[in-house]
């Protein structure tokens, strides 16, 4: 009989990891929702939802279920009070899963995006994929960043870190606060991390010359933004070659800002 375990990192709200194992706990039906719930901050501290004292025995049965919605028919779904309905954030197996009122309200109300537009007309379409890593001493290393024209901006929970957008004159165009979590949650335990990746879809703001990462008014890192697309020239191969094994490609690139 298969059971499922998973892990989440709240720096990647769209990503969960699950693993099937052969054990006696058949609770795979809600594993994706359960791990995404951890990503969004549900039940990250304390004991299991239905075992608050941590002794391995159920002390609570069937939390009050939140009202649902039958989308196609546009009618509410009310769970009968006489039926025990277990929240998907519980880790016990082969039960009926739903969202309880507390977790529904937390997801609805507790994840507001904290950002400040100084001029809404400066926001371009798509998003910037900001990539790097940060450690618990706030040492930041940035990798290549990419503009993704069709991507949506990510709803990033606010926190003490800030993406600080500046134009060529040093004027602030935009600010986006965010948080970093140095914890991997497996659902059964939390594993502390000394370093964690940064992978976030942030706004693509026109006329940005530099994006800084700030904490407590201190710059931790910066990314220079070029307004000019690079020119790329393939040096070798340059046409007509036929290869049957691995080969090297040589190229050169430049742009008007000299940063490509």
DSSP the chain: -EEEEEEEETT-TT--EEEEEESS---GGGHHHHHHHHHTTTT-SSS-TT-TT-SSS-----PPBPPEEETTTTEEE---TTS--EETT---SSS-EE-BHHHHHHHHHS--B-EEES-GGGEEEEEEEEEEEEETT--EEE---EEETTPPPP-PBP-SEEEEEE-TTS-EEEEEEE----EEE-SS-EEE-SEEEEEEEEEEETT--EEEEEETTEEEEEEE--SS--EEEEEES-SS---SS----EEEEE-TTS--
Give pLDDT, residue 183.
82
Q: Which of 174, 216, 215 is nearest to 198 (CA)?
A: 215
Other CB atoms closer than 10 Å to residue 225's CB: what's the count? Answer: 21
Give pLDDT, residue 1.
40
Give pLDDT, residue 23.
45
Give pLDDT, residue 24.
43
Confirm whether pTM is higher than 0.85: no
Cis bond upstream, residue 237 (ω within 30): yes
| Domain residue ranges of the chain, discontinuous segments joined by + | 2-109, 115-224, 230-260
Gap between the Cα atoms of 246 and 224, Å rounded: 34
Give pLDDT, residue 238.
80
Gap between the Cα atoms of 72 and 68, Å rounded: 12
CB 175 within 8 A of CB 214: no
Give pLDDT, residue 123.
64
Gap between the Cα atoms of 44 and 38, Å rounded: 6
Q: Can you list the residues of the chain whose pLDDT is less than 50?
A: 1-3, 23-26, 118-121
Give pLDDT, residue 214.
95
How big is the chain, counted in residues?
A: 260
Give pLDDT, residue 26.
47
Which CATH code is given to the segment(s) 115-224? 2.60.40
Give pLDDT, residue 128.
92
Gap between the Cα atoms of 98 and 89, Å rounded: 9
CB 220 within 8 A of CB 213: yes
């Amino acid at each position: 009989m298969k059971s499922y375990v998973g892990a989440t990192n709240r720096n990647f709200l769209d990503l969960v990891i699950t693993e099937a194992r052969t054990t006696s706990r058949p609770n795979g039906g809600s594993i994706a929702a359960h791990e995404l719930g951890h990503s969004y901050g549900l039940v990250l501290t304390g004991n299991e939802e239905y075992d608050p004292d941590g002794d391995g025995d159920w002390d609570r049965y069937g939390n009050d279920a939140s009202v649902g919605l039958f989308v196609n028919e546009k009618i509410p779904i009310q769970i009968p009070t006489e039926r025990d309905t277990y929240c998907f954030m519980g880790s016990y197996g082969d039960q009926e899963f739903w969202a309880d009122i507390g977790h529904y309200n937390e997801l609805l109300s507790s994840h507001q995006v904290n950002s400040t537009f100084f001029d809404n007309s400066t926001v371009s379409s798509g998003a910037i994929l900001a990539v790097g890593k940060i450690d618990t001493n706030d040492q930041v290393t940035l990798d290549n960043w990419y503009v993704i024209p069709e991507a949506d901006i990510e709803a990033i929970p606010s926190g003490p870190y800030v993406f600080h957008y500046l134009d060529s004159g040093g004027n602030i165009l935009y600010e986006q606060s965010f948080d970093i979590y140095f914890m991997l949650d497996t659902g059964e335990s939390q594993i502390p991390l000394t370093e964690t990746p940064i992978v976030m879809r942030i706004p693509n703001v026109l006329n940005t010359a530099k994006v800084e990462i700030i904490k407590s008014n201190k710059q931790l890192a910066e990314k220079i933004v070029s307004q000019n697309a690079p020119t790329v020239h393939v040096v070798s191969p340059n046409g007509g070659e036929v290869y049957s094994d691995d080969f090297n490609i040589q190229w050169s690139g430049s742009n008007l800002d000299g940063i490509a």
